Amino acid sequence: MADYINKQVIELNKVNEENQNRATRSVKTETQLSDNRGNETAEIDQLQKERDDLMTKFSNLKQTCPEGWQKFNSRWYFLSTVKKTWKESRKDCLERGADLVIINSDMEQQFLFGVNKRAWIGLTDSVTEGTWKWVDGTPLTTPSYWFSQQPDNGRDNPENGEEDCVELNTETWLPVKAWNDQSCLLNRYWICEKVV
Ligand SMILES: [Ca+2]
Ligand SMILES: [Ca+2]
Ligand SMILES: [Ca+2]
């Protein structure tokens, strides 16, 4: 009988010990899991940070180098390298997600004068003779930068034809006196403008 009881006690102790071991293992596993979770969270944070850094770099890159464009006062300007009629020039700008340049200030006028090319700008009186409108439909109000005697609509001489489009003539004239109305069918360089 005593033997039997002893055996049972030993057996119970064994079971007890095993249970304790199991409990210890389970605590260890839990710690391990929570450590892993911690590592995963850190890894996700790191990846998100890397992604944000790359997004910033990418958008900076986009801002700094569209081919052939230059930035001035949060606007982008494209100066063509070939010459076209006013209408074809405008079409090219629209295809670039822009439009022919609209000049809003002395600073912009001075800047554009600096491109040093005879170029079309986005101003025309082709709808109503003598009523100048920008390509966005707004009427020309001050400031305007006509050369003296301009606009003259080809001196209103029918032999010269109508002059309904505006070129920036930077060859010899003053920066703030550089607009000339010209026949829209002549080929000129052109300047596109867009907001980025
Ligand atoms: Ca403008
Ligand atoms: Ca005209
Ligand atoms: Ca003229």
d(CA 182, CA 150): 10
pLDDT at 63: 61
Q: What is the pTM of this model?
A: 0.68
pLDDT at 51: 86
Number of H helices, E strands in the chain: 3, 8
Q: Does domain 69-195 have CATH number 3.10.100.10?
A: yes
The string of DSSP letters for 16-32 reads HHHHHHHHHHHHHHHHH
Q: Say which residue the tokens 């890894």 belong to.
A: 43
pLDDT at 4: 65
Write down the domain spans for the chain: 1-65, 69-195
Strands 133-134 and 119-124: antiparallel
Q: Ligand 2 mean position to 43 CA, how many Å?
A: 67
Q: Ligand 1 mean position to 19 CA, how many Å?
A: 81
Q: Ligand 1 mean position to 150 CA, how many Å?
A: 21
pLDDT at 64: 63
Q: Ligand 2 mean position to 179 CA, how many Å?
A: 13
d(CA 83, CA 119): 8
Q: Ligand 3 mean position to 36 CA, how many Å?
A: 77
Q: What is the pLDDT along the chain (196 residues), one digit of tens a residue?
A: 667 667 776 787 787 788 787 877 777 777 787 777 888 888 888 888 888 888 777 666 666 657 889 999 989 999 999 999 999 999 999 999 999 999 999 999 999 999 899 999 999 999 999 999 999 999 998 789 999 999 999 987 877 789 999 999 987 678 999 999 999 999 999 999 998 8
pLDDT at 87: 98
| Helix ranges restricted to H, 65-139 | 86-95, 106-113
